[in-house]
Amino acid sequence: MDSNNVSLIFKALLAIFLGSFGVIGVFYALNILVEKAFPERARIKVLPWIYVGPALLLLTVYLIIPTLRTVYLSLFGPSSNEFVGLKNYIFVLTAPDTLTTFRNNLLWLVLVTGISVFLGLIIAVLIDRVKYEQVAKSLIFLPMAISFVGASVIWRFIYAYRPADAEQIGVLNAIATGLGFEPIGWLVNPAINNFALIAIMIWLQTGFCMVLLSSAVKGVPADVLEAARVDGASEVQIFWRIIIPMIMPTILVVSTTVIVLVLKVFDIVFVMTGGNLGTDVIASRMIREMFNFRNYGRGSAIAVILLIAVIPVMVANIRRFRQQELNR
């Protein structure tokens, strides 16, 4: 290894060290300061703010203020100079290609959430009955660890298209030609490219749903199931009338999580098609407005629409949390 590489690695280690321990050092320094500067009684009042302070600061600077600022910017033109009122929203909500974006997002929402949750539930119930449960689970769950970009590369390979006379290197087209069909341009054909992208997300998310739902299924008390069996319920009836209602809270949590994730889906579309050929979704469209079209007003307006879409989930979360606190 040449000295250049060594110094690179050294620099990297230094950066990791500084970045990681800097923050802990800050806390210790502040704490010592407070212990020295304040009498016992006042310390109790000051210390909490030292401890929550940095979190509060980061949340405010990186999430709260920018969110408000984005709402504000969405009322301005491309470079945020002239006030345009709701024009950006009107454009976004009427222009044909942004409408396609919304249609696509809806498609993603319904298909990814529906299929991942349903499939995850089926797998969760089935997998409970085999001895190699852990191995099978790990395999299905593994895509969770893969980045959207990595997943996109994996699936580009699956969707790879070669002209009919060449040997196919993508699994799907190999199967298609093997069955005597013409090879299909999975990512190019506007009738199917959205579904091809959605399949990637389903592949990534099913493991997540399965793991959560499986732990919920296992959480159904054995004596309840036994009681149902003694009462004469068949396994199918038990599934629909005992298990599903009992794990409904988890199903809801999993669904909302997937919904929020799908609403923000960006990487897959951005890497696979760049949002072209009618595959744009809200989040990728926003990035394109920002970087390709340099229109910050429209970009912000799209972001705000995204925020509005997740507000119901936010309210539900807060409500659930409050309920939890009451039950404590």
Applying the rule CB under 8 A, the residues between 258 and 297 that interact with another protein are 260-261, 263-264, 266-267, 270-271, 274, 283, 286-287, 290, 296
Q: Is 97 in the site for another protein (CB under 8 A)?
A: no
**Binding-site member from 20, 237, 276, 292 for another protein (CB under 8 A):** 20
CB neighbours of 307 closer than 8 A, spacing ≥ 6?
67, 71
**C-beta of 56: minimal distance to another protein in Å?**
7
Classify burial at 147, counting beta carbons within 10 Å of its beta carbon; exposed 0-12, middle 13-18, buried 19 or more.
Answer: exposed
**Binding-site member from 111, 127, 176, 192 for another protein (CB under 8 A):** 127
Residue numbers 212-241 binding another protein by CB under 8 A = 212, 214-216, 218-222, 225, 229-230, 232, 235
**Binding-site member from 91, 111, 156, 277 for another protein (CB under 8 A):** 156
Residue numbers 163-182 binding another protein by CB under 8 A = 166-171, 174
**C-beta of 89: minimal distance to another protein in Å?**
15
Q: Is 158 in the site for another protein (CB under 8 A)?
A: yes
Q: Is 142 in the site for another protein (CB under 8 A)?
A: yes
**Binding-site member from 247, 269, 275, 280 for another protein (CB under 8 A):** 247
In eight-state DSSP terms, residue 146 is: S
**Binding-site member from 91, 118, 203, 239 for another protein (CB under 8 A):** 203
**Binding-site member from 137, 189, 192, 239 for another protein (CB under 8 A):** 137
Question: What is the distance between the alpha carbons of residues 99 and 302, in angstroms, rounded to a whole number?
Answer: 11
Q: Is 143 in the site for another protein (CB under 8 A)?
A: yes
Question: What is the distance between the alpha carbons of residues 109 and 112, in angstroms, rounded to a whole number?
Answer: 6
**C-beta of 48: minimal distance to another protein in Å?**
4
CB neighbours of 105 closer than 8 A, spacing ≥ 6?
262, 263, 281, 282
**C-beta of 269: minimal distance to another protein in Å?**
11
**C-beta of 171: minimal distance to another protein in Å?**
7
**Binding-site member from 92, 196, 205, 207 for another protein (CB under 8 A):** 207
The stretch among 97-105, 108-116, 122-130, 180-188 that binds another protein (CB under 8 A) is 122-130
Q: Is 310 in the site for another protein (CB under 8 A)?
A: yes
Q: Is 66 in the site for another protein (CB under 8 A)?
A: yes
**C-beta of 292: minimal distance to another protein in Å?**
13
Q: Is 322 in the site for another protein (CB under 8 A)?
A: yes
Q: Is 106 in the site for another protein (CB under 8 A)?
A: no
